[in-house]
A and B are shown apart, each in its own frame.
Chain A
Amino acid sequence: MTCGRTAVVFDARGLARVFGTPHEIVAEVRRMAATDGLFVRATVAGTQSAAWLLAHASTDRSVIDPGGEAAALSPLPLSLLKTLSGLCQARPAPGPPGRARRAPLRAHGRHYRLAPGPPCRALSGDEGPGTDEVLAILVRWGLSTLGALAALPRAEIRTRLGVAGVRLHAAACGEDAEPLVPADEPPTFEERLELEWPIDGLEPLSFVLARQFESLSARLERADRGAVCLRTRLGLVTGDTHERTLTLPAPMREARVLRTLVLLDLESHPPPAAIDVVTIRIDVAPGRIDQGSLLDRTGLVPEDISTLMARLGALAGETRVGAPVVVDSHDARRLALVPFRPGPIPRADRPELAGREPSVSIGIAYTMRRFRLPVVVRVAVERGTPVRVDTGSGGLAGGRVVSAAGPWRTSGAWWSRAGAAWDRDEWDVAVEAGPCYRLTRDRATGRWEVEGLVD
């Protein structure tokens, strides 16, 4: 655990089998520091408070045997307790329970974190005078050494000086308020594989990806994490790299699904050359917990939706699959698609559970089959009304107009850039052959088009 820029606290248990006695451990630490050009004071004690105070004292003693902390600290000056603030500042701020991942602190290649406990601020300031005030009071009482403070009864200290006084008293006795516990290395979810022979094509790559994702999936499961972003980096034989990033709608960790998603993405965006290095990196989020219900319908889980979207995207194009959106415009030709991410399926009613759903009546007078590429036609007009539609050799049936309604005039976007504006007259016509069309006449050019088919 690093404390500021000048102190490091680490757990030396077990080092005796490597270096020998505590004195030899201290000597080894000094030697290693000297190798890096640092002159350090190293101490070993049974508690971190005792080791801390001893290291900050001007004394030649460097080792306190377990159980002898109070006696060893007894002659040290009371002012040393001011240095404890550095130890307190190294502790991370308290976060939500069960969620805070304390910042890992590196010392001698290992990581430690402080065990959950009362925060320093609460000990020092919230329930009474602060550390400096308590020390000033102790000095006014005539105390000058840690031993003198340790000799006072703690209950009386608690009554008169509050929690901050108790903390200083415990430190003077060589006791720790919070023990050191090791913290796990923050996991990184990355797999890199250098291939002996370059591979060309997605089929052999799928075997490589399967191996990598099985390992990653197991690690994700152990860490209770799910992948939210897949970063695929392919090293090519040409020396270039082919990178793809795939953002997932929900955390997931099933190896088969992740491999399929990456393969489908690479199918749409294949690497330009053979591959000799495959690196998969996963950005993670806390795992998703789904609780099924006997009363709710089972719907598509996000893994299924992602896989389906990837498959459809590879088949029809990523921009051609999604949920439609009604654009806020009077131009009926405008439309938009958004990613298909339906919400949860509402609870089923009893008739649905019985397999027979209630009849629903949807009021639709007619629908329009819109031609995204409008068909240019010739229209004969008499007294302002279309009387005949000539569709040429296209697939639409033309002929005499038996009934027509219109015109409805729409226009808009005249204030925007050229090409976005429209100004049209619309007609609904029924031709003799049977079909009903929506015709438009561009008021600027006079061109007639079939915009859609009533159906």
Chain B
Amino acid sequence: MKTAAMSKLEALLETRRLNHTLLRPWLAAAPARTVSSGVAPLDAVLAGGWRLGEVSEVVGAASSGRTCLAVAALAASTAGGRLAALVDTTDRFDPGVAADAGADLTRLLWVRGPAMSPGAARPAMVDRAVRQAVRACDLIVRAGGFSVVVLDLADVPSRRLRLLPHPTWMRLARAIEGQPTACLVIAPTALGRSARGVTVQVSAAPRWQGTSAQSRRLAALEITARFQTAHAVVQSVDLESGGLQNQAALRTPAPSDHRTIGPNRIIGP
């Protein structure tokens, strides 16, 4: 039975539009509106995909498969005829990979930040780029109409990200609340997902094919993901061999058609 203090607290949260942070069994059981992540095992774990109206995160170290998940979400969204946006803070996006994955690039809005060499950019320049990217993400989210918005902060050092004022993420969560948009933040560490968002911690190991250096090729990244939400326990899933469904989702051939092995020369257009 609820006490008067608890009722008062809930009323106060409702006044501040923070009642969605309450842990209520009937709310936790209600199906959330989602958009496919483009990876079937991930969709299975996330009960359909990335939640609409929420800010979710994909965090991990370099070469952990963060960009893979982001590009998969963008490709799935645009291939289905919806609009998607990528705020590329440090200008790292490779359109060719997205096109190979089936993305409709005409439906992808790409906001390119300043080109920066990793580790060589001045801190002030990085801070300015981050602020600009967050502002661009906020504008896109508020404009509405986009199914997935990816904010790529993967190459921004964690210490620079920690300098962002904390209300930044709360404002972003408030802006996206109720909208049919899933916001995905790619970062080296967890920053600030929204109350019903999910944090996916990824790690990966490269899988090589071939025996010698000349015949070997990088076949795929074997990604393992850990999930964390406000209402669920942390679980770890191997996206390749997690025993969920469609285990070969990330096992497609590497996009190396444009290259040749050995002495053959490729002449440009």
Contact = CB atoms under 8 A, between A and B. Distances in A.
Contacts of B143: 300, 304, 307-308
Contacts of B226: none
Contact of B31 (A300, A356, A373): A356
Interface string A345-371: 110000000011111111111111111
Nearest to B35: A357
A300 B216 CA distance: 46
B41 to A, nearest CB: 9
B267 A411 contact: yes
A380 interface: no
A424 to B, nearest CB: 10
A370 B98 CA distance: 13
A409 B261 CA distance: 7
B4 to A, nearest CB: 36
Nearest to B77: A360
Contacts of B106: 323, 341-343
B139 A405 contact: no
Interface in B14-57: 31, 33-36, 38-40, 43-44, 48-49
A403 interface: yes
Interface residues of A, number: 80
Interface string A403-431: 11110111111100000001000101010
Determine the main DSSP class of B at the interface with A: loop
A365 B116 contact: no
Interface stretch (B5-13, B107-115, B161-169, B192-200): B107-115
B140 A308 contact: yes
B43 to A, nearest CB: 4
Contacts of B75: 362, 364
A436 B139 CA distance: 34
Contacts of A394: 117-120
Contact of B67 (A297, A340, A369): A369
Contacts of A413: 268-269
A324 interface: yes
Nearest to B36: A360
A368 B106 CA distance: 20
B143 to A, nearest CB: 4
A409 B263 contact: yes
Contacts of B113: 316, 320
B265 A411 contact: yes
Contacts of B81: 345-346
Contacts of A329: 268-269
A271 interface: no
B95 A435 contact: no
A308 B139 contact: yes
B266 A411 contact: yes
A12 interface: no
B250 A360 contact: no
Contact of A367 (B40, B71, B145, B263): B71
Contacts of B219: 365
A434 B98 contact: no
B83 A369 contact: no
A385 to B, nearest CB: 5
Nearest to A429: B218
Interface string B58-77: 00011111111001100110
Contact of A435 (B63, B93, B146, B217): B63
B255 interface: yes
B253 interface: yes
B132 A434 contact: no
B145 A304 contact: yes
Contact of A360 (B38, B117, B261, B263): B38
Interface in A145-186: none
**On chain B, which size bracket covers the interface?**
35 or more
A455 B64 contact: yes
Contact of A455 (B34, B140, B154, B246): B154
Given A365-B220, A405-B210, A452 B269 contact: no
A321 to B, nearest CB: 5
Given A359-B43, A394-B117, A412-B268, A367 B111 contact: no
Given A332-B96, A332-B258, A357-B48, A362 B72 contact: yes
B69 to A, nearest CB: 9
Contacts of A299: 83, 145
B33 A356 contact: yes
B221 interface: yes
The residue in A323, A366, A372, A422 that gathers the most chain B C-beta atoms within 10 A of its C-beta is A366
B94 A369 contact: yes
B149 to A, nearest CB: 12
A355 B63 contact: no
Given A355-B33, A408-B261, A363 B252 contact: yes
A324 B91 CA distance: 12
A315 B218 contact: no
A404 B110 contact: no
B218 A395 contact: no
Contact of A366 (B65, B145, B258, B261): B65
A297 B180 CA distance: 11
A375 B158 CA distance: 20
Interface string B203-216: 00010101001101
A140 interface: no
B190 interface: no
B144 interface: yes
A396 interface: yes
CB-based closest 4 A-B pairs:
A395-B119, A412-B268, A363-B252, A300-B145
Interface of A: 297-300, 304, 307-308, 311-312, 315-316, 320-326, 328-332, 335, 337, 340-343, 345-346, 355-373, 375, 384-385, 393-397, 403-406, 408-414, 422, 426, 428, 430, 434-436, 452-455
Given A307-B143, A363-B251, 12 more contacts: A300-B146, A320-B111, A337-B112, A361-B40, A364-B72, A365-B221, A365-B251, A369-B93, A408-B259, A411-B266, A436-B221, A452-B92
30 contacts: A304-B143, A323-B109, A324-B105, A324-B108, A326-B99, A331-B268, A337-B110, A345-B82, A356-B48, A361-B40, A361-B249, A362-B75, A362-B102, A363-B101, A364-B38, A365-B221, A365-B251, A366-B65, A366-B218, A367-B68, A369-B92, A394-B118, A410-B259, A411-B267, A414-B267, A430-B206, A434-B61, A435-B63, A454-B221, A455-B221
